[in-house]
Chains A and B, each alone.
Chain A
Protein backbone atom coordinates (compact mmCIF):
# COMPACT_ATOMS: atom_id res chain seq x y z
CA UNK A 1 0.00 0.00 0.00
CA UNK A 2 1.18 3.50 -0.74
CA UNK A 3 1.85 5.63 2.32
CA UNK A 4 0.51 9.05 3.22
CA UNK A 5 1.46 11.64 0.64
CA UNK A 6 1.68 15.38 1.18
CA UNK A 7 2.05 18.15 -1.34
CA UNK A 8 3.89 20.34 -1.75
CA UNK A 9 6.94 19.22 0.22
CA UNK A 10 8.38 22.71 0.53
CA UNK A 11 6.75 26.10 0.42
CA UNK A 12 7.96 29.65 0.92
CA UNK A 13 5.36 32.33 1.54
CA UNK A 14 5.32 35.96 2.58
CA UNK A 15 3.73 37.24 5.78
CA UNK A 16 0.07 38.05 5.20
CA UNK A 17 -0.43 35.54 2.40
CA UNK A 18 -2.46 32.37 2.67
CA UNK A 19 -1.46 28.81 1.93
CA UNK A 20 -3.17 25.48 1.21
CA UNK A 21 -1.53 22.15 1.96
CA UNK A 22 -2.76 18.82 0.69
CA UNK A 23 -2.77 15.32 2.15
CA UNK A 24 -3.73 11.99 0.60
CA UNK A 25 -4.23 9.28 3.24
CA UNK A 26 -3.45 5.60 2.98
CA UNK A 27 -6.04 3.82 0.88
CA UNK A 28 -8.97 2.76 3.06
CA UNK A 29 -8.16 5.20 5.86
CA UNK A 30 -11.00 7.56 6.68
CA UNK A 31 -9.42 9.70 9.38
CA UNK A 32 -6.91 12.44 8.65
CA UNK A 33 -5.22 14.44 11.38
CA UNK A 34 -2.95 17.46 11.00
CA UNK A 35 -0.05 18.37 13.27
CA UNK A 36 2.37 21.27 13.42
CA UNK A 37 5.97 20.53 14.31
CA UNK A 38 8.36 23.27 15.43
CA UNK A 39 11.63 23.15 17.39
CA UNK A 40 10.13 25.22 20.18
CA UNK A 41 6.66 23.71 20.58
CA UNK A 42 7.27 20.20 19.29
CA UNK A 43 4.42 18.27 17.72
CA UNK A 44 1.04 19.88 18.26
CA UNK A 45 -2.34 18.63 17.15
CA UNK A 46 -4.24 20.95 14.82
CA UNK A 47 -7.42 19.07 13.90
CA UNK A 48 -8.85 15.77 12.74
CA UNK A 49 -11.31 14.98 10.01
CA UNK A 50 -13.35 11.83 9.67
CA UNK A 51 -15.91 11.25 6.93
CA UNK A 52 -15.67 14.88 5.83
CA UNK A 53 -16.46 16.19 9.32
CA UNK A 54 -14.09 17.89 11.73
CA UNK A 55 -14.14 15.60 14.73
CA UNK A 56 -11.51 17.19 16.94
CA UNK A 57 -9.69 20.49 17.11
CA UNK A 58 -6.51 21.64 18.87
CA UNK A 59 -5.69 25.03 20.34
CA UNK A 60 -4.87 26.98 17.22
CA UNK A 61 -6.39 30.25 16.02
CA UNK A 62 -9.15 30.34 13.45
CA UNK A 63 -6.61 31.22 10.74
CA UNK A 64 -5.96 27.49 10.60
CA UNK A 65 -8.72 25.56 8.91
CA UNK A 66 -9.17 22.37 7.02
CA UNK A 67 -11.52 20.20 5.10
CA UNK A 68 -11.86 16.64 3.93
CA UNK A 69 -13.26 15.40 0.67
CA UNK A 70 -15.40 12.35 -0.05
CA UNK A 71 -12.30 10.39 -1.13
CA UNK A 72 -10.76 11.13 2.33
CA UNK A 73 -8.15 13.47 0.90
CA UNK A 74 -7.71 16.51 3.11
CA UNK A 75 -6.54 20.05 2.75
CA UNK A 76 -5.32 22.47 5.36
CA UNK A 77 -5.45 26.23 4.91
CA UNK A 78 -3.63 28.93 6.82
CA UNK A 79 -4.72 32.49 6.18
CA UNK A 80 -2.90 35.73 6.97
CA UNK A 81 0.42 33.97 7.51
CA UNK A 82 2.64 35.03 10.38
CA UNK A 83 6.37 34.43 10.82
CA UNK A 84 5.55 32.03 13.66
CA UNK A 85 3.64 29.78 11.28
CA UNK A 86 6.94 28.58 9.84
CA UNK A 87 6.93 24.87 10.66
CA UNK A 88 6.74 21.34 9.36
CA UNK A 89 3.08 20.48 8.83
CA UNK A 90 2.39 16.79 9.15
CA UNK A 91 -0.61 14.83 8.10
CA UNK A 92 -1.45 11.47 9.63
CA UNK A 93 -4.03 8.96 8.54
CA UNK A 94 -5.75 6.15 10.38
CA UNK A 95 -8.67 3.82 9.84
CA UNK A 96 -10.73 5.90 12.24
CA UNK A 97 -14.04 4.88 13.68
CA UNK A 98 -13.91 2.83 16.86
CA UNK A 99 -10.88 0.82 15.75
CA UNK A 100 -7.55 1.63 14.17
CA UNK A 101 -5.97 4.13 16.48
CA UNK A 102 -2.66 3.69 14.69
CA UNK A 103 -1.73 6.87 12.93
CA UNK A 104 0.68 6.88 10.02
CA UNK A 105 2.41 10.11 9.15
CA UNK A 106 3.33 11.57 5.81
CA UNK A 107 6.69 13.24 5.11
CA UNK A 108 5.31 16.69 5.88
CA UNK A 109 5.24 20.05 4.16
CA UNK A 110 7.98 22.44 5.23
CA UNK A 111 6.45 25.94 5.28
CA UNK A 112 8.71 28.95 5.56
CA UNK A 113 7.12 32.36 6.09
CA UNK A 114 9.31 35.37 5.32
Chain B
Protein backbone atom coordinates (compact mmCIF):
# COMPACT_ATOMS: atom_id res chain seq x y z
CA UNK B 1 0.00 0.00 0.00
CA UNK B 2 3.05 2.22 0.23
CA UNK B 3 3.86 1.99 -3.47
CA UNK B 4 3.88 4.80 -5.97
CA UNK B 5 3.67 3.51 -9.53
CA UNK B 6 5.24 5.66 -12.24
CA UNK B 7 5.01 5.42 -16.01
CA UNK B 8 6.46 5.43 -18.58
CA UNK B 9 9.91 4.16 -17.71
CA UNK B 10 11.39 6.18 -20.55
CA UNK B 11 10.12 8.88 -22.86
CA UNK B 12 11.43 10.51 -26.02
CA UNK B 13 9.91 13.85 -26.99
CA UNK B 14 10.79 16.29 -29.72
CA UNK B 15 11.85 19.78 -28.84
CA UNK B 16 8.79 21.94 -28.34
CA UNK B 17 6.55 19.00 -27.56
CA UNK B 18 4.70 18.10 -24.37
CA UNK B 19 6.17 15.52 -22.00
CA UNK B 20 3.68 13.70 -19.80
CA UNK B 21 4.61 11.45 -16.88
CA UNK B 22 2.03 9.66 -14.79
CA UNK B 23 1.95 8.36 -11.24
CA UNK B 24 -0.57 6.42 -9.18
CA UNK B 25 -0.71 5.72 -5.48
CA UNK B 26 -2.75 3.53 -3.17
CA UNK B 27 -2.24 4.89 0.30
CA UNK B 28 -4.93 7.46 1.07
CA UNK B 29 -2.75 8.80 3.89
CA UNK B 30 -0.55 10.48 1.30
CA UNK B 31 -1.26 14.18 1.06
CA UNK B 32 1.86 15.73 -0.42
CA UNK B 33 3.01 14.99 -3.96
CA UNK B 34 6.30 16.43 -5.20
CA UNK B 35 8.16 15.91 -8.45
CA UNK B 36 11.93 15.78 -8.63
CA UNK B 37 14.34 16.16 -11.53
CA UNK B 38 17.69 14.40 -11.44
CA UNK B 39 20.65 14.84 -13.76
CA UNK B 40 23.44 12.25 -13.88
CA UNK B 41 25.83 12.64 -10.98
CA UNK B 42 23.51 15.02 -9.12
CA UNK B 43 20.98 14.74 -6.34
CA UNK B 44 17.26 15.08 -7.11
CA UNK B 45 16.07 18.68 -7.38
CA UNK B 46 12.58 19.66 -6.29
CA UNK B 47 10.61 20.85 -9.32
CA UNK B 48 7.05 21.37 -8.19
CA UNK B 49 4.70 19.92 -5.57
CA UNK B 50 0.96 19.74 -4.96
CA UNK B 51 -1.44 18.95 -2.14
CA UNK B 52 -4.85 17.25 -2.66
CA UNK B 53 -6.86 20.41 -2.04
CA UNK B 54 -6.13 21.62 -5.59
CA UNK B 55 -6.45 19.76 -8.89
CA UNK B 56 -3.73 21.57 -10.78
CA UNK B 57 -0.62 23.61 -10.11
CA UNK B 58 1.49 25.37 -12.69
CA UNK B 59 4.98 26.77 -12.39
CA UNK B 60 6.45 28.01 -15.63
CA UNK B 61 6.50 25.17 -18.15
CA UNK B 62 5.76 22.56 -15.47
CA UNK B 63 2.22 21.59 -14.46
CA UNK B 64 0.99 19.00 -12.01
CA UNK B 65 -2.50 17.59 -12.52
CA UNK B 66 -4.03 15.78 -9.57
CA UNK B 67 -7.04 13.45 -9.51
CA UNK B 68 -7.85 12.60 -5.91
CA UNK B 69 -10.67 10.16 -6.64
CA UNK B 70 -8.50 8.16 -9.06
CA UNK B 71 -5.43 8.52 -6.82
CA UNK B 72 -3.38 9.64 -9.78
CA UNK B 73 -1.21 12.63 -10.54
CA UNK B 74 0.85 13.63 -13.52
CA UNK B 75 3.58 16.01 -14.60
CA UNK B 76 3.26 17.92 -17.86
CA UNK B 77 6.30 19.66 -19.30
CA UNK B 78 5.23 22.13 -21.95
CA UNK B 79 7.53 23.25 -24.76
CA UNK B 80 10.06 20.57 -23.80
CA UNK B 81 13.70 21.55 -24.29
CA UNK B 82 16.90 19.49 -24.65
CA UNK B 83 17.94 20.84 -21.25
CA UNK B 84 14.94 19.05 -19.75
CA UNK B 85 16.54 15.70 -20.57
CA UNK B 86 16.86 14.06 -17.16
CA UNK B 87 15.25 11.47 -14.93
CA UNK B 88 12.02 12.54 -13.27
CA UNK B 89 10.68 11.06 -10.05
CA UNK B 90 7.26 11.46 -8.55
CA UNK B 91 6.89 10.99 -4.82
CA UNK B 92 4.26 10.96 -2.13
CA UNK B 93 4.43 11.97 1.51
CA UNK B 94 2.15 11.14 4.42
CA UNK B 95 -0.04 13.53 6.31
CA UNK B 96 1.39 13.06 9.74
CA UNK B 97 2.12 16.71 10.32
CA UNK B 98 5.65 16.03 11.37
CA UNK B 99 7.24 13.41 9.14
CA UNK B 100 9.20 13.96 5.94
CA UNK B 101 9.26 10.36 4.72
CA UNK B 102 8.75 10.23 0.96
CA UNK B 103 7.86 7.22 -1.14
CA UNK B 104 9.29 7.56 -4.64
CA UNK B 105 8.20 6.26 -8.01
CA UNK B 106 10.68 4.30 -10.08
CA UNK B 107 11.61 7.23 -12.30
CA UNK B 108 11.13 8.25 -15.94
CA UNK B 109 14.10 8.91 -18.16
CA UNK B 110 13.16 11.78 -20.47
CA UNK B 111 15.08 12.53 -23.62
CA UNK B 112 14.21 15.63 -25.59
CA UNK B 113 15.51 15.51 -29.16
CA UNK B 114 16.20 18.40 -31.52
A residues lining the B interface (CB < 8 Å): 4, 31, 33, 35, 42-45, 48, 50, 55-56, 58, 90, 92, 94, 96-98, 101-108
Contact = CB atoms under 8 A, between A and B. Distances in A.
A106 B43 contact: yes
Taking chain A's interface residues, is the majority helix, strand, or loop, or is none over half, making it mixed?
strand
Contacts of B100: 31, 33, 48, 50, 56, 92, 94, 96, 101, 103
A102 B98 contact: no
Nearest to B36: A105
A56 B103 CA distance: 13
A31 B99 CA distance: 9
B44 A101 contact: no
Contacts of B103: 45
B101 A102 contact: no
Report, as a range, how many residues of chain B touch the other chain.
20 to 34
A92 B43 CA distance: 9
Given A44-B104, A101-B34, A105-B45, 15 more contacts: A31-B100, A42-B104, A43-B102, A43-B107, A48-B99, A55-B99, A92-B100, A94-B100, A97-B98, A101-B93, A103-B100, A105-B36, A105-B44, A107-B41, A107-B42
Interface of B: 32, 34, 36, 41-46, 49, 89, 91, 93, 97-107
Contact of B49 (A96, A102, A106, A107): A102
21 contacts: A4-B43, A33-B101, A35-B104, A42-B89, A43-B44, A43-B102, A45-B103, A48-B101, A55-B98, A90-B44, A92-B100, A94-B100, A96-B98, A97-B98, A98-B98, A101-B100, A103-B100, A104-B46, A105-B36, A105-B46, A108-B43
Task: List the 5 closest A-B pairs by CB distance, nearest first.
Answer: A105-B43, A43-B104, A56-B101, A105-B44, A107-B43
